[in-house]
Structure 1
């Protein structure tokens, strides 16, 4: 057939494979060309040597292991990325994805062939509805951002069906993630920002004023709970009541649902719609940009506005090419919920809250915790403020993030939602021993910063500003730094038992900032003059 390898002739692309195969452009007699002539590729492809130098499973296995070793992943240490919920993705939860009954079914396979699959999806929807206290759930959205879009579309269609198409104002706190205003605009809303108070909470007086100003056009409020600042906003019930009193709907961003499961719920709080991140709270892995599932749950009056699909007999509000989005990976969340049970899910939430508060308590005397609730506690994550230390020492939050790599840790979320801070979310997956190792690393880094402040260390040529340190750097014949190689690579004694070596030193972030690939405007862009 066309495109099959022909032995004994030079390769047309990809360098020079050892067997000198080529992809023939010839077509056997009696067969029409499958690909039209003008679409046949003539340029070279697979030219990088990596596609041609590994010729056995042994070599490929070792190559893949070397690649893995370049990545500081969860199998190395905790990844405390705030707002990302990088929890354990247990092998037992992911095992069914490899079963042909799950991974080999086409999204449009006949209904009579997918009875068990549909039952699994229906059961998962039921469980998620119970957890969120909503009337129904749709698994169609492929990501949290797509869940936002689907949920806002449901609200928009609800207002239109009630002859209120003019309700097109969406109120969004300034602390919100950039996807919130982007989703609102895509769904046809006008974005109106809401100020936050000094504690990072929604300014209720400002919210009330905006609601009164836009009362006849108020369509929705987007709110994250716990807040993006890592606290349970005590005014959340009041906020929902204010929106409803002006005819609007409450959209809750479920990015921080890991702090709610079993203790409270979006539906119980008063939200009308909420998206979930199954790739956060419910254990689907999401490193490297995917895969994701962002189902939405809705109150009873919005059930008819959930995403439809031709396969389901209703094409209104479709947001994904297939009726259940990334259907095969939903089995991971099914397994997680089924194995944890109600008591296990509640326990997980409590430990997630406990771990975050433990870190906040251990670090507060070294790095101020920026936001806390009325009782001095945080939710499932905490934001530590490095700006006072930067003012004294010149050491930036980026320097601390890079130095953490030398200690064997992936940096927490940096400079979001507040510039000059680190947002730390340990999740329930980490042991006290791992939390202590992280806190000890941060305390040690605080001590290093103090040496810069005191003048013991040079303000530029020091272990923080020049972090991270690769094996190549510390083993080089040339070492022109005033601190020792030992301090660079082994700042604490535990690293002698096991050391993660970064593959590269510090990169040129300024170059990256000046050569942007994609940008997403923050809430500040929507402020009125």
Structure 2
């Protein structure tokens, strides 16, 4: 190695994160550009992206930081957050995540880099964990069916309201929904938002007034935000007497002590699983839950894991009832939900597996006893308890708040200071006896003379909850919740499930429209730091200056990247961002006296969430056709925009298009809509092809959502979390989402919330912040260029055997390409699904199937995949094509060949082999699979059987015993 002769000033620590993020080297790029037929990257851009939208100057972002400097700087930001002991409650509580789950799930790329389990044969681990989650919810709520998580408790309440409208015939004559005044304020705000645009009348009142109203549904809090445990059965009966459905927002931990709402006759039960081991994280991400009666199962929103069988009749798990999903039903969808909170639901389910029924009961009892000790102690000093029936939350009256507040601040304690003068205190899993003693000092002053030991003896002899409200039904009796008590057993269980799922730790996941790129370790590390993880979302602003700095810096960077003027971090999924963006448009137009504008133009190629979101915003969808090249038909757009000019609210455009090309006339399309008085919504799902080369705010966009879990490196988490912040032009800024507890500066007070927390799932924002900080403007542009090179390279390598359906005017695709399988199917009978399943034998997750065109595969390699992996994928696709030709020629029967029988499992390898092809070809078709084989856990899953025989819960112990 030659001697380093650089000047001393140049000898600084460097790590080239950009080249670590982008897979191919400069040599690789030269090879790929030669295959594409372009002399340079710049030439590729010239022939791919319309000149009239190209950025003429680099992004004005900071110079890239090294990984080490990024983490050091972020640590300085984190230290500006003060981690005080929080007793604020309001749906967010301190909890303890067992380290074995933290290290092996939350911080494990085998769990957080997997995709939604749409391909069940290589996704049996997460569905098992999610099935466990559903069982936890089913048992604790006493309901027969639960989904596999929603975004947060407030939006789950909104979904429950809409579910009641769909499921109750009374809603056809009555449009009013009752919400108990004792619900959390953020829940009420999101309900108001959703009701306003679904055409419902939302009635908020105390529960004793329910009989005054005629409603199709009612939502009760159990316990309420003030802590009161209501007589639930009386309220449910009151709702049922007038033909209304009864919904219950329940605290999951309290249901270990309180009678299950399902036992009291509830139709819908919802809430948050946050306190089952998931850190508060300044508001998220947290898995919400929704449980329903059997009659509502096919109208229930969200994903459901069900038990089916594979080709050999063995049990297999899958996502059930997928025909309900928004991408299929479009504007007729029951919801626009696209992202769940799978990773957090997994964590909550493992928390239940780790503790079991007895452990959860112990935690719930301890929380209740400590709350009871606190209440008993302060009551003995003349403090008034607003309610005599409570679980973990006390509302105290008669205290001198002016004296308490400075004592609490000195003790680094956060209490809830209510507008009505009361003081709220919520006890949680992390609370201890010494904490109660300190609370006495804060509330009563020193010298109160209370003894924790004496109080403990006293409260053991008395119970503040009546026996009629206490739980008597056993729960979590299934074997999975009883077996894994030692860390050794728990570790092995987690590893067994992890090994069943293909993730980015195994291979590229070439999903068109989903952007499964690198989620770098240095980006992921900070989410576990206490300064980010253990902050209550409603903590005083003086304690969260670090979060505000991070959010401000990230917002400024995203605005520079997109060309917009203002941004909201509140939407906690891409679909939620679509909804929030459309509401900003509607609020703006209503403020301008143009509330009649209710038409939304949507191209026929649009994402399924687009029409579903438009319908939720009470917009009427008018479809704009596409031409033979897959572009928006400008003549049809012009005709329909002018036809509906007086009522035109917006157009929703995906760019590059859902067909994977940069449409040359996007600026003209935006101008057409603007001339007719409409606003332009540009879907940010494909922003990965634009960063640093063009900006939606420059070529006509008024609003866009950004999928931080796609373009900006937040991992998919096996089906969530996601983040969908929206950028808007200045005229829409006042109409971004506000928040009832944490008001947003510059936003109109009439603009209500769309999510439970003001900044959505804030604890995962450090991931995107770190990505942008380490890439800088130059690196972000290089990432976009690399994504375009990789996609075009795959298109060129495959085009002779798989026709590329759409190309731009310059002959190239964008960051993804659609290959047409229909000619192959016509000749051989082999479908895109058969190819998808056969790819598993080659060690790959399938591309996106039949979207946006039936009978196709949409491939997106991302910038993070190296040339060797791109070639491995292309080689696999070409080998599969050769296999199809052997079927066409008659060498292999149409009903017995490697594609029809794919995927092949270890069970097949050991079976009595009767097929006309070899075991080796079936299971080890390439040298790569012989070196490192990822085995599908089950054979092809029978989807129809799973839907016809819907089973969405774990088997009881008896089933294991019988087996």
- Normalised to the residue count of structure 2, the TM-score between the two structures is 0.51
Q: Which of 550, 559, 568 is the equivalent residue of 1:138? A: 568
Alignment of 1:439 with 2:874, yes or no, is yes
In structure 2, distance between residues paired with 1:193 and 1:20? 55
Q: Aligned with 2:511: secondary structure? A: coil
> Aligned residue for 2:932?
498
- Structure 1 residues 83-482: aligned runs within 5 Å: 83-310=513-740, 311-312=742-743, 314=749, 316-476=751-911, 478-482=912-916
Q: Which runs of 5+ in 1 are unaligned?
A: 5-13, 518-529
1:60 to partner: Cα distance? 1.9
**Structure 2: how far apart are the matches of 1:388 and 1:245?**
42
Report the Cα offset of residue 93 of structure 1.
Answer: 0.2
Alpha-carbon distance between aligned partners in 2 of 1:203 and 1:435, rounded to the nearest angstrom? 34
Displacement after TM superposition at 1:212 (Å): 1.2
The corresponding residue for 1:507 is 941
CA spacing shift, 1:372–1:51, aligned 2, 3 Å:
same
Distance 1:277 1:114 in 2: 25
Closer/same/farther in 2, CA of residues 250 and 501 from structure 1, 3 Å limit: same
Alignment check: 8 A CA contact 1:293 1:326 kept = yes
When structure 1 is superposed on structure 2, of 256-265 and 63-72 the one drifting more is 63-72
2 CA distance for matches of 1:18 and 1:93?
33
Cα deviation, residue 30, structure 1: 3.0
CA contact (8 A) 1:406 1:489 kept: yes
| Alignment correspondent of 2:459 | 30
Q: 1:21 to 1:302 in 2, by over 3 A?
A: closer
Three-state SS of the structure 2 residue aligned to 1:170 is: strand
CA contact (8 A) 2:657 2:663 kept: yes
47-56 vs 336-345, which deviates more? 47-56
What is the deviation of 1:181? 1.1
Structure 2 residues not aligned, in runs of 5+ = 1-253, 258-351, 370-456, 952-963
Quote the offset at 1:39 in angstroms: 4.2
C-alpha distance in structure 2 between counterparts of 1:436 and 1:304, whole Å:
49
2:501 pairs with one of 58, 71, 82: 71
Question: How far, CA to CA, are the matches of 2:458 and 2:857 in structure 1?
Answer: 66
Deviates more, 1:186-195 or 1:91-100: 186-195
Contact 1:404 1:411 in 2 (8 A): yes
Deviation at 1:389, TM superposition (A): 0.5
Residue 191 of structure 1 aligns to a residue whose secondary structure is strand
How far apart, in 2, do the equivalents of 1:34 and 1:81 lie? 55
Give the CA deviation at 1:473. Answer: 1.3
Larger radius of gyration: 2
Secondary structure, in 3 states, of the residue corresponding to 1:312? coil
Deviation for aligned residue 1:514: 5.8
Aligned residues: 505
Q: Distance in 2 between matches of 1:34 and 1:64?
A: 39
Match of 1:7 in 2: none
Q: State whether residues 681 and 704 of structure 2, in contact with CA within 8 Å, keep that contact through their aligned partners in structure 1.
A: yes
Secondary structure, aligned partner of 1:269: coil
1:332-381, Cα deviation, whole Å (9 max, x unpaired): 10111111111110000000111000000000001000011112100000
8 A contact 2:596–2:647 mirrored in 1? yes
Work out which structure has the larger RCO, using CA pairs closer than 8 Å and 6 or more positions apart in sequence: 2
Q: Taking structure 1 as the reference length, what is the TM-score of the superposition?
A: 0.91
Match of 2:430 in 1: none
Q: CA deviation at 1:56?
A: 2.4
Q: CA distance change for structure 1 residues 235 and 22 in 2, over 3 Å: closer, same or farther? A: closer
Q: Report the Cα distance in structure 2 between the residues aligned to 1:266 and 1:19, rounded to whole angstroms.
A: 52
Rounded to whole Å, the distance in 1 between the matches of 2:607 and 2:480 is: 38
The CA deviation at 1:92 is 0.3
Alpha-carbon separation, structure 2, partners of 1:186 and 1:37: 43
SS at match of 1:439: helix
Deviation at 1:318, TM superposition (A): 1.2
22 and 451 in structure 1: CA distance in 2 versus 1, 3 angstrom threshold: closer
**Cα deviation, residue 321, structure 1:** 1.2
CA distance in 2, matches of 1:398, 1:419: 11
| SS at structure 2 position matched to 1:383 | strand
Following superposition, the deviation at residue 38 of structure 1 comes to 4.2
**SS in structure 2 of the partner of residue 297 of structure 1:** strand
- Distance of 2:519 and 2:811 partners within structure 1: 31
Deviations 1:241-262 (A, max 9, x none): 0000000000000000000000
Output the CA distance in 1 between the equivalents of 2:852 and 2:809. Answer: 20
Q: Structure 1 residues 515, 180: CA separation in 2 closer, same or farther (over 3 Å shift)?
A: farther
Alignment partners' CA distance in 1, 2:484 and 2:574: 38
Deviations 1:23-73 (A, max 9, x none): 589987535546554443333322232222233222222221111110011
Take 1:194 and 1:515, find their aligned partners in 2: how far apart are those partners? 39
Q: Is the 8 A contact 2:357 2:476 kept in 1?
A: no
Structure 1 match to 2:923: 489
1:58-115 residue CA offsets vs partner (Å, 9 max, x unmatched): 2222221111110011100000111000111111001110100111101111111111
